[in-house]
Amino acid sequence: MTDAECVAFLQWALPRLDMRWAGFRKVRRQVCRRIGRRLRELGLPDTTAYRQILARNADEWRFLDSACRITISRFYRDRGVFDALGAIVIPALARAAHARGAHALACLSLGCASGEEPYSVKLLWELGCAGEGDGLALRVTGIDAHPVMLERARRGCFHPGSLKDLPESWRSRAFERADDEWCLRPEFRRGVAFVEGDVRAALPAGPFDLVLCRNLVFTYFADSLQRRILAQLHAHMHAGAALVVGIHESLAGDSTGFRPWDGARCTYRRL
Ligand SMILES: C[S@@+](CC[C@H](N)C(=O)[O-])C[C@H]1O[C@@H](n2cnc3c(N)ncnc32)[C@H](O)[C@@H]1O
């Protein structure tokens, strides 16, 4: 399958999956490879024949949906965002939690991949926010639709490349080397839980103080679906809670119920 054929196919199929082509433009190779493999498995000559299969088989749409999951992640991705979380946002959330007499700060990571993002919040809490969380526990929930990614997340072992943005001292404090991987020590996994689920169907029960929704909803999903999930996130968050999006994402035209967080990139305060 040529790139042009794959692009034409994705531009036709993605809106039918409630996704947007613009989000896939740069990462399409991964998806095109999977679709090419699928055509070979089904013995089909081209995407025209594949469209005919899709026209009469709802299960094939489910396969295509899962083939469109982009799973790239790493620890402390977009350092500046995490630095601001540690310096500005988490201290404010901790003060608010203390003020309402809470015992824990609840964090949600949507599309958590192999756990790099939820574990980064845990590392930040333990190693980058000294004193701020005194008397408070941190509970982090990661949700992802991909069972293999979640299995890796629960195992807690990672290739060195995925740790390259972490402060060096944190890596030696929080991980131990096991062959060619780095495995999180048990104390840095405590309070971090993973659930398998489709964020389009349901979100874990809140209310949450901190929600990371990066490089999924606001990149790949259609505008109407973005708006629906944003409204659900709003309903799952405390007033004053923080919503963090990816560095190439914004709530743009529809930030109803949220306001940019002063001094913290990519972060919004839930009104
Ligand atoms: C590009 S990764 C982003 C990981 C992390 N949030 C980050 O920014 O580094 C997107 C993740 O979302 C997951 N995903 C895709 N569609 C999903 C859905 N409908 N519900 C839940 N997770 C989904 C994928 O399996 C993948 O692990």
pLDDT at 131 over 80: no
Q: Of the residues 144, 219, 228, which should be mutated to test ligand 1's pocket, given the most ligand atoms within 8 Å of the CB?
A: 144
Q: Which atom of ligand 1 is nearest to the CA of 216?
A: 10
Of 162, 67, 151, 65, give the one whose Cα is nearest residue 123.
162
Label residue 202 exposed, middle or buried (CB < 10 Å: 0-12, 13-18, 19+). exposed
Give the pLDDT confidence score for residue 256 in this predicted structure.
83
Q: What is the pLDDT of residues 57-89, one digit of tens each?
A: 999 999 999 999 999 999 999 999 999 999 999
**Is there an atom of ligand 1 within 6 Å of 199 CB?**
yes
pLDDT at 29 over 70: yes
> Which residue minimizes the CA distance to atom 15 of ligand 1?
69
> Which residue minimizes the CA distance to atom 2 of ligand 1?
71
207 preceded by cis ω (within 30°)? yes
Give the pLDDT confidence score for residue 253 in this predicted structure.
64
pLDDT at 252 over 70: no
pLDDT at 133 over 90: no
Return left, alpha or beta for 219; rule: phi > 0 is left, psi -120 to 50 is alpha, else beta.
Answer: alpha
